[in-house]
Amino acid sequence: MSTDTTLTFIQHQLPPLDSGEYTVNVSQKVTLANVDTETFQTNPLTLFVSGKRFQLDGSDIQSAFPPANQQGYYGNVFAHVVLNTPTLPWQRGTGEAANTGTDDVAAWLGIMTFAETDPVPGLQSATLNDLVNPPSGTFFPALTLEPGQQPTDPVTIVDVPATLFNNIAPSLNDLAWLAHVRTVDVSNKATSGDEPAPGTLSVVIGNRLPPVGMHTTAMLVSFENYASMLPADDGTPATQAAGYQYMRMVVLYNWTFLAQAEPVTFEQYLESVNVTPAGLQQTYNTAVSSGNAAADAAVQNIINMGYTGFPHLLRDGGNTVSWFRGPLLPYGTQPFIQVPFGDADQLLRYDPGSGIFDVSYSAAWQLGRLLALNDRNFALALFRWRARHTSEALTQLEQDMLNEQLDIQIDPDQLPSEQNIARIRQSLLQVIKPITENFKAPQ
């Protein structure tokens, strides 16, 4: 079976209709021979197309990376958000067209990242009235509330210092490149109920790498009608931004993560593999010889086989050193174990001669289980399997208890249903009859 999959990148996916008010007029002309043409006109129908604006639902966001409240080697990763709706980044506009030489479409959504030393501006819970009526010295673009939007509606905002905004905000042309659509294979994706996993998603990407060694706060913000305030492609602040101390922005999603320093880069790993002659990277160090020739030879032999000694914390609280090696070896091996095993402890191997455990297979079993459970599709299938079998076992237990107490002997495979029903009725009568005979009606 082929496992090839295709990942398709699309520059953007515009909504069929932009957000705004539309008027629909319908008329019909009827023309008959020797009869005057008559026109039938309906009353105008006014409708409003309203895209997302000030808030997102939990279902709008598929995922964010780097993960929220996690730490890792994220110093070379632009923070990004995956959205379930492919048209969402283009449902509104920035107020001006981009000039990228392509389709001149800039997303109204963007990600701004703040380091601890910026410092991070504080989030504020406000109303739409607070949003569109900022205090003196704070900029917010002119917006008209749409049908269904009330001045008292809640909104999350952030007031970014103008100097910081000019230094880190994307340009208008940047926004045209910082969002795209991708189509992915969803055959192995987990589903939510009966809803299929989305195959076409939109992605919004930040324009700033997170600093290493400190927390980074990422905010998915609205750049609706913000084009005139965005810096130029070379970072020059917009002329219109002069005179403002703060830039007020709508925050639709935010999260924090920590980028750690990477002790060894990928390039250094590759360079370390290039050794002559080719072989294992860890060799026996004669400087730590014990002086016992037989013992030293045994240790050298096991290291040359690819094993490494690691500290091992035992279940009883004791500490020891155990051997471990990975599956990639410079020689062939013959399998000698038969699966399955109930737990990792069953795969521990003990050498009574040296008194040392070999935890290689045990670690592989544990790693395989973690990888399997990390797959949402597998984890859900396993959960459903366990729930189904547990339910069947409970049902069978209840049936066995009833059969034992009522002495019901039925055979659904051999006897017609009428005979089985008759057996159940007879058994129930045997239990109920003594009760009714001993029951005395009140005088």
In tens, the pLDDT along 333-352 reads: 777 778 888 888 899 988 88
What integer pLDDT is reported at residue 411 of this predicted model?
Answer: 55
Cis omega before residue 89 (within 30°)? Answer: no
Return the structure tokens found at 44.
Answer: 């105008």
Amino acid, res. 23: T
Give the span between the Cα atoms of 405 and 334, in whole angstroms.
55
What integer pLDDT is reported at residue 300 of this predicted model?
Answer: 78
pLDDT at 431 > cutoff 80 = no
Q: What is the mean pLDDT of the chain?
A: 84
Distances (CA, A) of 349 to 103, 300, 358, 369, 379: 63, 19, 5, 19, 29
Span 310-323, average pLDDT: 89
What integer pLDDT is reported at residue 84 of this predicted model?
Answer: 92
Give the span between the Cα atoms of 395 and 118, in whole angstroms.
62
Residues 6+ apart with CB under 8 A from 132: 140, 142, 143, 145
Q: Please report which confidence band the pLDDT of residue 82 belongs to, taking 50, 70 and 90 as the band edges.
A: very high
Vertex 386 angle, CA 384 and 392, to 5°: 100
Span 135-159, average pLDDT: 93
Ramachandran category for residue 302: left, alpha or beta (phi over 0 → left; psi -120 to 50 → alpha): alpha
What integer pLDDT is reported at residue 239 of this predicted model?
Answer: 92
What integer pLDDT is reported at residue 428 of this predicted model?
Answer: 67
* pTM (whole model) above 0.75: no
What integer pLDDT is reported at residue 1 of this predicted model?
Answer: 42
Question: Which tens digits make up the pLDDT trace of 50-81?
Answer: 889 999 988 899 999 999 999 999 999 999 99
What integer pLDDT is reported at residue 185 of this predicted model?
Answer: 77
Phi/psi for 144 (5° steps) reads -110, 130
pLDDT at 130 > cutoff 50 = yes
Give the span between the Cα atoms of 123 and 219, in whole angstroms.
10
Span 150-176, average pLDDT: 95
pLDDT at 397 > cutoff 50 = yes
Q: Please report which confidence band the pLDDT of residue 249 belongs to, taking 50, 70 and 90 as the band edges.
A: very high
Torsion, Cα of 79, 160, 157, 126 (10° steps): 160
Q: Please report which confidence band the pLDDT of residue 358 belongs to, taking 50, 70 and 90 as the band edges.
A: very high
Question: Which tens digits make up the pLDDT trace of 1-52?
Answer: 445 677 899 998 988 888 888 999 998 888 887 777 888 888 888 888 888 9
Phi/psi for 259 (5° steps) reads -95, 115
Report whether 191 contacts 197 (CB < 8 A).
yes
Q: Which of 54, 240, 56 is nearest to 132 (CA)?
A: 54
Span 250-273, average pLDDT: 88
Report whether 10 contacts 183 (CB < 8 A).
yes
Of 225 and 417, which is predicted with more confidence? 225
Give the span between the Cα atoms of 421 and 427, in whole angstroms.
10
pLDDT at 326 > cutoff 90 = no
Report whether 206 contacts 64 (CB < 8 A).
no
Strand bridging mode 200-205 / 319-324: unpaired
What integer pLDDT is reported at residue 288 of this predicted model?
Answer: 67
Report whether 142 contacts 225 (CB < 8 A).
yes
